[in-house]
Structure 1
Amino acid sequence: MEQYLELVGLAKLTLWVAMSMTYVRFAACRVKPGMPRLLSLLPVVCLLPFLPFRFSSLHLRGISAFFLAWLALFKLLLLSVDAGPLSAPLPFLPFLASAALPVKLIDPLHHHKRNSPSISPLLPAAAKAALLSALIPFYRLKDVIHPYFLLSVYCIHMYLSLELVLAGAAGAAALLLPRGLAIEPQFDAPYRAASLQDFWGRRWNLMVSAILRPSIYLPVCARFGRAAGILATFLVSGLMHEVMFWYITLMPPTGEATAFFALHGACLVAEVAARQAGWWRPPAAVATPLTLGFVVATAFWLFYPPILRSRADEVVLAECAAAMGFLEDAGRAVIACVR
């Protein structure tokens, strides 16, 4: 029954978002950029952060918060000044997909002129889903396996889950797009990153990069320089992750996620400075393990503790088991109807 209620809530939220983004496009087409457009979009800007609380499920609440309370909210703020991935002249369905989902459309006029990341997934989506399912039993053994091994499982779980969720959203968005429009890739093999700049800027969760670049990095960089732009971008990313953790755990922020991203921002500034100074760079065979090792080690230290203290991993396991049971019951019901 609880899963059914969550699905009903998801349908209602989808309707709310569709109506809200329809209004956003209507207002953006008729109100000039700047304060007038921002005021016209303010009702939706204020609504979006509250919508994820319709869900009791950690997964649905966290995913909808990422889609709406972060990405969509930033897109609307950028749209108010006629910047970012949204554009008022976009046709209705592409505008709706781009506004509500974590996707960025590729301009067909420049599609062949730009160097889009070449996505060659290590595993197809079905295999990634199977691998993700295979990780679930490790949570039941967390009292007997080594903590660092368990944290490694968390890292793989987060990567697979995020990539599958974003791929699913991209698939849903593709259904709304006319022929000729394409969607930019959301990951580009982050396990191949040979530097922090490569990892955060070109490979990991590129939709977030596409939002933070015009909203934070470029304005700060233009006024205070590149280093300040990098630090400001990572600081805002850390603060937004604190907000996402709040949606997921329903516990007050601890500042650890902000510290994680502030540390990476400072290290990235140092990395860029070393590169500009002509310091020796290790080959990719060495740089890639060092980069991934640093990301994972600092995640063990600062990123995961707030989630683990809230016992969110136990909730994840329970929800996965409940979802599997719901699907099995639904499958039996379908088979019974067919017979």
Structure 2
Amino acid sequence: MAAALMDGELGSIVNVSAAAWAAMSYARLAAGHLRPGAPRLAALLPVVALLYAIPFAFSTSTFRGTSAFFLTWLGSFKIFLLAVGRGPLEPSLSLPHFVCSASLPVKLRQSTADKDKSQAPVPSRVHAPVRVLLSGAVIPVIIYSYQFKNAMNRYQLLVLYTLHIYFSLDLLLATVHTVIHDLLGMEMEPQVNRPYLASSLRDFWGRRWNLMVSSILRPSVFDPVRARLGNAAGVLAAFLVSGLMHELIFYYIMRSAPSGEVTAFFLLHGTCAAAERWWASHPGWWRRPRAVALPLTLAFVAGTGFWLFFPALMKGGMDEMVLRECQGMVALMEQAGRRLAVATDLVSSTM
């Protein structure tokens, strides 16, 4: 049954892809004829409304969550930035490049962001196809390990969930990177840059983890708020919006009212990151040695995640839901492999 459910999602993927292509094509056309400001924003609001409705087209939490992240969050924020003449989207882009940039976490090789490439953190040097193979090999092992979950304590289970989320995201993003890079010469926004080397919360969130999100929150939330209310307010606003968008994604996945724990997690980190920034603004004050800062940062991220972030997932039963769908996806892949083997044998026998 799980495999049949995942198989049925293929039709939804086709329909959603067609709808996203049509919506982004219209957005490019409208932006090309209207100047940034209220008229362009009014013309683009129907696109934003569609992006917020798209996750409901899917029956499984996996695809609802993925479409919510790519389209409802990143996509809608890119459209809002386009409305005011900022961000990665430009009407002058070719249609395929515009649609892919708007719908997926990708960036053009020759984008203006690349001008500051020398100042940006160096992303993982592991090539996307290798990451696909690595994550594709690890995830089935993680799924298999879930059958022993009753013998695990709470923290062992949370570590397993962390690994599942990390490798699932890496598999998804590396797969998209491989396809988009080969077809259109576009690059994925790097998702992570060795987060285990983070020496502060600012380093972790701003330069190492979820870099696609920070690259969108910076021009859309942080910069405008900072210009009016200062750095601390900009940091808190960015983390607040991140928390609210995570709550929205969890709502799409579980279809239940948010608990507020995820928002509290990000507000706590935003407050601490703002405090770090304030402390760093005083050159003569004491600095933690890197050998101490690194484990303290990772311990804080893990501890607060186990306290606030992951319990929100477990309370809603999302872990069990995702597990069933992953098992269905594995079964679907096994069926596809068997069908491919049969087709290969038939072709070989006729030659």
User: TM-score per shorter chain, which class?
Assistant: over 0.9
CA drift at 1:182: 4.2
1:273-284 correspondence runs (5 A): 273-278=278-283, 279-284=285-290
- State how far apart, in whole Å, the 2-side matches of 1:312 and 1:285 are: 36
Question: Contact 2:221 / 2:234 at 8 angstroms: preserved in 1?
Answer: yes
1:36 maps to which residue? Answer: 39
Residue 108 of structure 1 and its aligned partner are, at CA, apart by 5.5
1:39 aligned partner, one-letter code:
A
Consecutive unaligned residues in structure 1, runs of 5 or more: none
**Alpha-carbon distance in structure 2 between the residues aligned to 1:97 and 1:122:** 23
- The residue type equivalent to 1:146 in the other structure is N
CA displacement at 1:91 relative to structure 2: 1.7
**DSSP 3-state at the match of 1:306:** helix
Distance in 1 (alpha carbons) for counterparts of 2:278 and 2:330: 49
The 1:184–1:239 alpha-carbon spacing in structure 2 relative to 1, beyond 3 Å, is closer
1:305 equivalent among 308, 311, 316: 311
Contact 2:123–2:192 under 8 Å retained in 1:
yes
1:187 and 1:205 in contact (8 A); partners too: yes
Residue of structure 2 equivalent to 1:94: 97
One-letter identity of the residue aligned with 1:174: H
Alignment counterpart, residue 59 of structure 1, candidates 62, 65, 71: 62
Q: Deviations over 1:290-334 (max 9, x none)?
A: 111111110111111121011111112211111111111121122
TM-score by length of 2: 0.91
Residue segments in structure 2 that go unaligned for 5+ positions in a row:
346-351
The residue identity in structure 2 corresponding to 1:292 is: L
Name 2:136's counterpart in structure 1.
129
Question: Bigger relative contact order, structure 1 or 2, given CA contacts below 8 A and separation 6+?
Answer: 2
| Superposition deviation, residue 193 in structure 1 | 0.9
Deviation for aligned residue 1:113: 5.4
- The Cα RMSD (Å) is 1.8
The residue that corresponds to 1:14 in the other structure is: 17
Q: Which residue of 2 aligns with 1:104?
A: 107
1:106–1:184 CA contact under 8 A, matched in 2 = no
Task: Summarize the alignment of residues 81-230 of structure 1 with structure 2, pairs less than 5 Å apart.
Answer: 81-107=84-110, 111=114, 114-115=117-118, 116-120=120-124, 124-125=130-131, 126-178=133-185, 182-230=187-235
User: 1:194 Cα shift?
Assistant: 1.0
Q: Tell me if the contact between 2:177 and 2:187 (Cα under 8 Å) persists in the aligned partners.
A: no
Counterpart of 1:104 in 2: which secondary structure? strand
Q: Decide which moves more: 108-117 or 4-13.
A: 108-117
Letter in 2 for 1:287: A
Deviation of 1:246 (Å): 0.4
